[in-house]
Amino acid sequence: MSKVVVTPRSFAAHSDEPMQILLRNGCEVSLNPYGRIMTKSELVSMIGDADAIIVGVDPLDREVLERAERLRVISKYGVGTDNIDLRYAEERGIAVTVTPGSNTDAVADFTIALMLASARKLNEIDKACRQRNWSKRTTVDMHKQTLGLIGLGQIGKAVARRAAGFDMRILSFDRFRDEAYAAQHGIVYTESMDEVLKEADFISLHLPLTDDTRHLIGRAQFALMKETAVVVNTARGGLIDEEALFEALHTGRIWGAGIDVFEEEPPRNTSLLELDNLVIGSHCAASTVSAIDNMGILASQNLIRYL
């Protein structure tokens, strides 16, 4: 019998199929008992004799993996692998799998929701109305504005399809171009990221977190943006320098931001929590019933395939 550790708290929350896949294949399953992201020491205590793990954003660095002597497969519940030491996993011959496409639509929907909420100041309006303040607030449009996508992978493309319904002009910067898709959907690739930052009314990030992309958006990049710009990040915390983000929002350098991912969650800079022009998510863009079911089923199938 193979021992499997499962850390995502939403695993099999709405459908028992992900769990049944594991049980039907003779797995002994240990679930995250903490109701939150696990610490390194907590992971070490659970995976010492595990054959496989289904992991969310819990830290699987070398220090943790060295203690998992029997581990054969890491099945990522999602697609981002910045919490996993891929190099060490490869050295050990530990397979690493992801669940591409399982949460694409959920994240794309949430991205659009953050754009609208930020542009139309829904936080501020809702707060005022609860205080019986019915005064009008002038906001900015999404319709026929320019959307800049930094990264045009599956989720970026899904956001672009939704933005077409707002008659938006769409720009994108990506090292890897899908010219056919761009041509079909009227997306214009730019030669530099700076072009997107200068021209776009809405800027949405859809990149993995790597050494090259860490703090990709900082003070210099915010300085290029329009004062009416809205920045959205549903990709990975760390793509944006959070000190620079606070300054840009606090001083009115940009209109607003919708941020679902932070370097630490909750964010280390608690001043961010006090800003009315920041709409905050709890890393929940992928948390819909369908996406959770899809991720769980695919993560379990990937794990069994490799075991």
- Within a 13 Å sphere around the CA of 248, how many CA atoms are in the beta-carbon half? 26
Q: Could you tell me which of 91, 16, 6 has the C-alpha nearest to residue 52? A: 6
Residue 215 bears catalytic tag? no
Q: Which own/partner pairs from 42-46 qualify as long-range (CB within 8 Å, at least 24 positions apart)? A: 43/5, 43/7, 46/5
Catalytic annotation, pick one of 265, 268, 274, 305? 265
> Left if phi > 0, otherwise alpha if psi is -120 to 50, otherwise beta: which for 273?
alpha
Catalytic annotation, pick one of 28, 236, 268, 274? 236
Distances (CA, A) of 226 to 120, 201, 202, 255, 283: 16, 7, 10, 8, 27
**111/105 Cα distance (integer angstroms):** 10
Residue 265 bears catalytic tag? yes
Query: Which residue in the block uniquely carries the two structure tokens 């990149």?
Result: 207
Q: Could you tell me which of 92, 115, 116, 112 has the C-alpha nearest to residue 104? A: 112
Residue 14 bears catalytic tag? no
**46/157 Cα distance (integer angstroms):** 38
**247/263 Cα distance (integer angstroms):** 17
Longest C-alpha distance within the chain, in Å?
64
Catalytic annotation, pick one of 72, 92, 162, 283? 283
Q: Which residues are catalytic?
A: 236, 265, 283
